[in-house]
Chain A
Amino acid sequence: MHDHSTRSFRLGIAGPVGTGKSSLIATVCSELSAELRLGVITNDIYTDEDARLLRSAGVLDPERIRAVETGACPHTAIRDDVTPNLIAVEDLERDFAPLDVVLVESGGDNLTATFSPALVDAQVFVLDVAGGGDVARKGGPGIARADLLVVNKTDLAPYVGVDVEQMVTDAEAARDGKPVLALSRNDPASVAQLKEWVLSMTNVVRSGEHTPVDPGPVAPHTHVDEDGQLITHTHAHAH
């Protein structure tokens, strides 16, 4: 159905409210708009605030930033019924063909909100230090299995009494070695790492070597079976 020459790398950005998703997209745009042809779709909850914020940041041609309404269901919009988002992405790809990367910002939601693989090729989950150092340990599908976990606003750590290194260690433990990035837009070294990750992921997806992973609604977890053996698995029932 898709013309391969116009199909972009679709990168989802999810995470709780206010953790810095829009700011991260603004950073990616200002770092990479010279190298990559970019587009942005925002999923605002109540306003077109995020789209406006990004347009006014002047990091990308405002016409390449489009907002999708979510009917107060940000979770549905990126997971159960991705139709409006998918149409928005494909229209953007068509109108500005060819695009290299389309960034899709989820409306700020809770820890269980993750993108459907039908909508994005890869996803970043954004936490911030101000949400508390223990959030990473609490886990959840986005924390455990997003392609990249960002621990954002590290510059605030001293003010909120969070040990960034410990938070990153907790997150790494929850993620089986998948990457974790401690980020602050005021820390150029971390911004460079973010840029590097986006570039290399773009290349991986383009080469066709990447299969989108579904973080899924329930994180893998461990419990002890009747024989005292530890088993780790994912499933849908509650216990």
Chain B
Amino acid sequence: MLADGRLPTGGHTQSAGLEPAVRAGLGAGGDRLTDVAGYARDRLRTITRVEAAVAVVARHITVSAATAPRRGSRPDKWPATGDPRLSPADDATGTASRAAMSLGMVEAAWAARTPSQVMRGAARRQGRAYLRLAARVWPDVLRYLRNDTEVARPVVVGVIAGVTGLSAEQVARSVAHDDVQTVVSASLKLLPVDPADAASWLAGLHDDIERLVTDVASLTEIDKLPASGAPLLDVFAQNHADERMRLFHA
């Protein structure tokens, strides 16, 4: 379900940065359409790699909290985290609230690796949409994150994966696949692309997606999160926010 673009989380408003990149010349106005596949590959190596890694670590934190041995500490020993986006102490052992605190740290680590404030804003708005859906479909997510708050999408996706029993590989693959799918779907609206070509680009990126999965699936520590960026895409994203003519939010 997580990898399905039809999930009602506002996916139709997203182009994974393709619209700003096209505006900056990607695809050469339709003369160099294979740029789109190259663009998706560049993201898999940079921005999407960070996002998938963040989701993997968020999943790890959630799974660890759910399986932690009960220590029997008093509930008031783990006070509210202070971050209104994270769920306050709500269980006898405080494991959920400790996990929430760690998730706050993952979110901060993601933010530090996402220099464009426009991209951060877009990812947090998407995370909010996922949280609203999760509140209805996977309400256990609310043990860790507060409903309807702006938490980066990869963190929310990681927590959803944690409470629904997805493996680290599955969540990494879902983030990577979703990103490529968002790029190629948006390309149909932005450039004169044959839909079958778009599908073959997606198929052609299979090995890149699996490489990403292998690289990030074993991560458990925040300090080990990759910090690979794509500064040009950050600049494009920043410019997009001031654009008047646009189809996609980001």
**Which residues of chain B (1-52) have a CB below 8 Å from chain A?**
6, 8-15
- CB of B125 within 8 A of CB of A48, answer no
- A90–B129 Cα distance when bound, in Å, is 13
- If A46-B246, A69-B248, A72-B189 touch, whether A87 touches B13 (CB-CB below 8 Å) is no
Chain B residue numbers with a CB within 8 Å of A84 are 10, 13, 129, 249
Please determine whether B244 and A81 come into contact, CB atoms closer than 8 angstroms: no
B12 & A81 in contact (Cβ 8 Å cutoff): yes
B235 to chain A, nearest CB (A): 20
**Inter-chain contact B125/A70, CB cutoff 8 Å:** no
Is B245 in the interface zone, CB < 8 Å from A?
yes
Task: Give the contacting residue for B12; candidates A1, A70, A90; CB below 8 A.
Answer: A70
Interface size on B, residues (CB 8 A): 24
User: Is B59 an interface position by the 8 A CB rule?
Assistant: no
Q: Is B132 engaged at the interface, CB distance under 8 Å to the other chain?
A: yes
> Is B12 a contact partner of A77 (Cβ separation < 8 A)?
yes
CA distance A165 to B117 in the complex (A): 55
Task: Name A's interface SS.
Answer: loop
B143 at the interface (CB under 8 A from A): no
B171 at the interface (CB under 8 A from A): no
**Is B55 positioned at the interface, with any CB of A under 8 Å from its CB?**
no
Residue among A45, A69, A86, A90 facing the most chain B CB atoms (10 A cut-off): A69
A74 to B14, CA, bound (A): 14
Chain B contacts for A87, CB-based, 8 A: 10, 125, 128-129, 132
Interface residues on A, range: 20 to 34
Q: Do B245 and A46 touch across chains, with their CB atoms under 8 A apart?
A: yes
Q: Say yes or no: A83 contacts B247, CB within 8 Å.
A: no
Is the Cβ of A69 less than 8 Å from the Cβ of B247?
A: yes
Report the bound CA distance from A90 to B15 in whole Å. Answer: 24
Q: How far is the CB of B243 from chain A (nearest CB, A)?
A: 9
Contact A72–B247 (Cβ < 8 Å): yes
Interface residues of A in 82-101 (CB under 8 A from B): 82-84, 86-87, 90
Name the B residues within 8 Å of A58 (CB-CB): none
List, in ascending order, chain B residues with CB within 8 A of A166's CB. none
Contact of A69 among B13, B132, B147, B148 (CB under 8 A): B13
> Which of A47, A72, A73, A81 has the most C-beta atoms of chain B within 10 angstroms of its own C-beta?
A81
Question: Is B123 located at the chain interface by the 8 A CB criterion?
Answer: no
Binary flags per residue of B136-149, CB closer than 8 Å to A gives 1, else 0: 00000000000110
Residues of B with C-beta under 8 A to A47? 244-246
Report A's interface with B, CB cutoff 8 A: 1, 45-48, 68-73, 76-77, 80-84, 86-87, 90
Q: List 12 A-B contacts (CB under 8 A).
A: A1-B147, A46-B246, A47-B246, A48-B244, A69-B246, A70-B13, A72-B247, A83-B133, A84-B10, A87-B125, A87-B132, A90-B148
